[in-house]
Amino acid sequence: MAWSEILGQSFALRILRTHLSKERVAPAYLFAGPEGVGKRLAAFELAKALNCEQSDGLPAEASAQAGPCDRCASCSRILRRMHPDVHLVSPQGAIETIRIDEIRHILGRIALRPFMARAQVVILDGADRLTEEAANSLLKSLEEPPASARFILLTSQPSDCLPTIVSRCQTIRFQRLSTEMIQRLLVSQQLCAAEAAPSISRLAQGSLSRARRLAEEWPAYQQMTAHLGAEQAARWLEWAIPNDRQEQAQWLAGSIAWLRDVAVASASDDTLLAHADASSSIRRQAGELGRDRCVDAALQLIEVWGSLEQLVSPRLVGSLLREQWLELTQPAR
Ligand SMILES: [Zn+2]
């Protein structure tokens, strides 16, 4: 792994390497950008660069130029995610939050002297998932971390992060990957059949991790869209809406992407459709439903999606979804 292997993020990486070469690495960064575009990889790469033993004694500029070696004890421990001074904190529990006890634990760790690192690094993946208490307990450390510590916060939802957190970090923006790049990676890494790569890359919306997930679930996804495009979309709902939380999230993501296409089809040509293979079904539904109903239904589904974590019963979510979808597929009044 090297900086050059993080694709499509030359702007963000240039800033980080400049900070390294000028020895001006910030105490706290916020890497903000869509899910699955390399934020976490870049965070671990920065942790390696800060600690690589090959750069001991080298001027900062030369070591930033060379990048971390990937071979020394420090790099190889970070690569294996087994470095005692590089900490990864991720959301936990059913509602996926980062709680105050986890932040206290990590602050306790970095208050001690490092085992082997020059810089202890805390990578906090999900800055938008910090509870308010947890965020408050972190503020002072973000501003004045212990001498050897650096924080790297990651988020795909910067607008959901507390302003007090954002203002204490230096924000680095990560971009969506291009459809062409995702298509190339899907094929070169043999993640899906070559003929599925164009469709999956269009649906991935710039996120390689989304593309990977879609590639894994591709037969099920195709089955679902075949149903969404069927003449009588309402009828298969009785069995098609899953009662399992994770499958519901996938169903919602697929349905929202589908509705977006139906709305787009009523206003433009097929080149903008993510489900280009199903353009004739999409055009037919666009004629039947109209753009406004599609947009309204998509917004309702997005709302259900947002509350998926809070609703205790997946069955309740299932019946809400059925209701929304039936309403949409009723003939226009
Ligand atoms: Zn190294």
pLDDT in tens, the chain (333 residues): 578 888 899 999 999 999 999 999 999 999 999 999 999 999 999 999 999 999 877 888 888 888 899 999 999 999 999 999 999 999 988 778 999 999 999 999 999 888 888 899 999 999 999 999 999 999 999 988 888 899 999 999 999 999 999 999 999 999 999 999 999 999 998 889 999 999 999 999 899 999 999 999 898 888 888 888 776 665 656 556 777 777 888 888 888 888 888 888 887 777 788 888 888 888 888 888 888 888 888 888 888 887 777 766 777 777 777 777 777 766 554
* Distance between Cα 288 and ligand 1 center (Å): 60
C-alpha to C-alpha distances, 304 to 102, 253, 299, 319, 321, nearest whole angstrom: 29, 11, 9, 11, 8
* Distance between Cα 100 and ligand 1 center (Å): 33
* Distance between Cα 16 and ligand 1 center (Å): 17
Nearest-angstrom CA–CA distance, 164 and 132: 10
Joined tokens for residue 73: 């004890």
Vertex 111: Cα angle to 86 and 88 (nearest 5): 25
CB distance 156 to 40 below 8 Å: no
Nearest-angstrom CA–CA distance, 267 and 270: 10
User: Counting Cβ atoms within 10 Å, is residue 250 exposed (0-12), middle (13-18) or buried (19+)?
Assistant: middle
* Distance between Cα 22 and ligand 1 center (Å): 19
Nearest-angstrom CA–CA distance, 132 and 155: 16
* Distance between Cα 54 and ligand 1 center (Å): 5
* Distance between Cα 53 and ligand 1 center (Å): 5
Minimal CA–CA distance to 75: which of 86, 65, 59?
Answer: 86
Minimal CA–CA distance to 127: which of 47, 207, 39?
Answer: 39
Question: Would you state the pLDDT for residue 89?
Answer: 96
Joined tokens for residue 1: 């792994």
* Distance between Cα 40 and ligand 1 center (Å): 18
Asked whether the whole model's pTM tops 0.75, one would answer yes
Residues near ion ligand 1 (CB < 5 Å) are 52, 54, 68-69, 72, 75
Cα distance between the two ends of the chain: 58
CB distance 20 to 12 below 8 Å: no
Question: Would you state the pLDDT for residue 301?
Answer: 82
For 65-93, letters b (16+ CB in 10 Å) and e give eebbbeebebbebbeeeebebbbbbebee
* Distance between Cα 89 and ligand 1 center (Å): 23
